[in-house]
Amino acid sequence: MARAVAYAAAQPMAIAAQQAPAFPVVCETLTSITGGDPRVIAEVLAATKGEQSAALDLLQLREVVATAADGIYNRPDVLDPTAKLASDDPSVALYTPTITQKRQVGPGPAPRWLDANDRTYAGRSTRAAASTSSGCSLAADALRQGQAAVVLPASAQQVELSAVAAEPDLGGTFSKEECQLRAAELREKRDAALRQAAVSARRYRGASAALGGAASVYAEEARKYDVAARRWQMRAASALVEQRQTDLAVDGHVSEMERIDLHGLTVHEALTVVQQKLARSRPGGARTFLEIITGRGVHSRHNVSVLRPALVRYLQQRGYTVDSTSNPGALYVKQAR
């Protein structure tokens, strides 16, 4: 993914976006919102040709990939383990320290040779993937908290969501259109706050911290609007699936199994809906109790579905038996093994 971003940032239109007067100010604003590395943010913003919303989505996608890939996303490049090729300084010195340790090995568990906080690849490889107190991945928590307008790659080794996928009850029932309208309103407020943050950062550049603090206030406001907008977008996806089920019932469709249609949903939206359905279902025996309509991927890039493999992996990781061969447009889920 990093190489794809670097390639996009090197394109002529991306280079032209970097020359815009407002580019450094936008970078500072995004840095204050995300707390990320300014160099990474500048590269991502260039790759998106200066589009702030797209840059935010891409930065969040990087975090999802980083934690979904078993905690090894940031390991050294196997073709450049010393990072000399990635350095801007051609004269960078290569230094590989060698540490010799002697330990008495007796009965019991094998000794730990590296410190628990060791930052090297070997140190990271001896640690379990980062997790929260509930045992869910950090990526899952980020998604549950509303950072959901990203597509989780189907190739991720772990497909995790939080134990409780449902959003807090906001009261009442909303249609898909109402949820989308609310999400659009919040995105407009987010963009307005981002513009205010950029203006404040430009106006008070070099001024006292008290004067420049207005930019941080607007940036935090933009972040909150962004989180709320993503939550409403997720509610819109759930409302769409519920409406499709209602339409099937009205049309007289009768089936021994529950059917959910996930056409048009992102991977994260689909995973969240499926988790909600599984939490409410009470399957018995070895029969098929859930039919998931995924489509054939005709509208996906290269006509390859990204939804099916992500759902299959997610379900199999939880012990469910999934029939993905009988119907190229659907998955049939059986009782957990």
pLDDT tens sequence across 224-268 = 898 899 889 888 888 888 888 787 766 555 555 678 888 888 888
Does the pLDDT at position 15 exceed 60? yes
Buried b (16+ CB within 10 A) or exposed e, 284-294: eeeebbbbbeb
Cβ atoms of 60 and 147 within 8 Å: the answer is yes
The pLDDT of residue 301 is 59
Does the pLDDT at position 168 exceed 50? no
Sequence-ordered alpha helix ranges (H) in the chain: 2-9, 12-18, 23-34, 38-47, 52-68, 121-125, 138-144, 176-203, 209-250, 267-280, 307-317
The pLDDT of residue 79 is 52
Q: Where are the domains positioned within the chain?
A: 2-75
Q: How far apart are CA 84 and CA 79, in angstroms?
A: 10
List pLDDT tens digits, range 149-160.
Answer: 434 344 334 444
